[in-house]
Amino acid sequence: MTPKAAEWLGRLVGGQRAEPMASPRRRHPAPELPEAQLRMAWQLTSLLLGYPDERLRELLPAIGEAAMRLPDAVGVPLLHLTQHLADADAAKECTAYVDTFDTTRKCALHLTYYAHGDTRKRGIALVQFKQAYRRAGLEISEDELPDHLSVVLEFGATGSLDVAWKLLNDHRTGIELLQLGLDAKNSPWADAVTALRATLPPLDGTQAEAVARLLAEGPPNEEVGLAGYALDPRLNPHPADDDLDLSLDLTGAPR
């Protein structure tokens, strides 16, 4: 969690009104939650989808108190997960987290994996995520891929709500498949995704068809690593690439 996010969460728990760290215009269909509650929900979900180390465990009381301020559809599943993590053996939960998210791709927290698998298109999609953050004024660290769900949610909670909203909805299929994967494992982290989905619009017909198709076929499996990531001139600078722009509409296809 960034220092800004920690300060913002503290203000929420303290009962103060948390002013948005950005004031985006609503260009996309808004969920029923007011903006302040949406940011809170996404910040709490981002934290609870993180590795359950001692730092997170220390935050659980504050997370639980903040979750109680949210509508039941969002707050109750977040409270369930918070209580589970508080009651569970810390070492066992760390092992369970790795077993859930790091050893099976059916529960990947990286949103572009579901649509693109390990193909060159995924590399391009990762560049688009990073460029979207950069245009909104955020430079993320190099120790995490930009499509990690916790990264997207914290960006929406503490930065540009609009950009995160579009990224999440453009990759809604991945969120639905993550929910199915966690449900199949009877994972406690399924509650975090349930809460997130309660903040998003219902699936439209095209999204439902995409979920069904990927559930039947799985993601593409062209094994080319993340070579496309090198196409971002700021990640792998080459003077000839200065004018490269892959991010244009954030839908996965360059303009």
Q: Quick: pLDDT tens for 166-200.
A: 999 988 989 999 999 999 999 999 999 999 999 99
When the pLDDT of each residue in the chain is averaged and rounded to a whole number, the result is 76
> Closest Cα to residue 114, out of 252, 228, 227, 232?
252
User: Could you write out the three-class secondary structure of 82-135?
Assistant: HHHHHHCCHHHHHHHHHHHHCCCHHHCCEHHHHHHCCCHHHHHHHHHHHHHHHH
User: What is the pLDDT, as a whole number, of residue 7?
Assistant: 53
User: What is the pLDDT, as a whole number, of residue 216?
Assistant: 67
3-state SS assignment for residue 148? strand
Give the HSE-up count for residue 17: Cα atoms under 13 Å, Cβ half-sphere: 3
Give the HSE-up count for residue 43: Cα atoms under 13 Å, Cβ half-sphere: 35
CA pair distance 185, 99, nearest whole angstrom: 11
pLDDT at 235 over 90: no
Tokens of 27: 């260009």
User: What is the pLDDT, as a whole number, of residue 155?
Assistant: 93
Confidence band of 239 (pLDDT split at 50, 70, 90): very low
The tens digit of pLDDT for each residue in 128-140 reads 888 889 888 888 7
User: What is the pLDDT, as a whole number, of residue 120?
Assistant: 78
Quick check: 190 and 78 in contact, CB under 8 A? Answer: no
What are phi and psi for residue 13, nearest 5 degrees? -65, -30
> How much is the average pLDDT of 143-157?
91
- Least confident residue range of 26-35, 38-47, 107-116: 26-35
User: What is the pLDDT, as a whole number, of residue 223?
Assistant: 44
Proportion of the chain above pLDDT 70, given as a percent: 69
pLDDT at 232 over 80: no
3-state SS assignment for residue 240? helix
User: What is the pLDDT, as a whole number, of residue 80?
Assistant: 97
DSSP 158-215: HS-HHHHHHHHHHTHHHHHHHHHHHHHTT-TTHHHHHHHHTTSPPP-HHHHHHHHHHH
pLDDT at 57 over 70: yes
Tokens of 147: 């499509």
The tens digit of pLDDT for each residue in 66-107 reads 999 999 999 999 999 999 999 999 999 999 999 999 887 789
User: What is the pLDDT, as a whole number, of residue 140?
Assistant: 76
User: What is the pLDDT, as a whole number, of residue 254?
Assistant: 29
pLDDT at 165 over 80: yes
Quick check: 74 and 195 in contact, CB under 8 A? Answer: yes
pLDDT at 25 over 80: no
- Find all residues with CB under 8 Å of 181, minimum gap 6, and list them: 104, 106, 107
Tokens of 104: 């099976």
> Closest Cα to residue 70, out of 88, 46, 45, 51?
45
Confidence band of 110 (pLDDT split at 50, 70, 90): very high
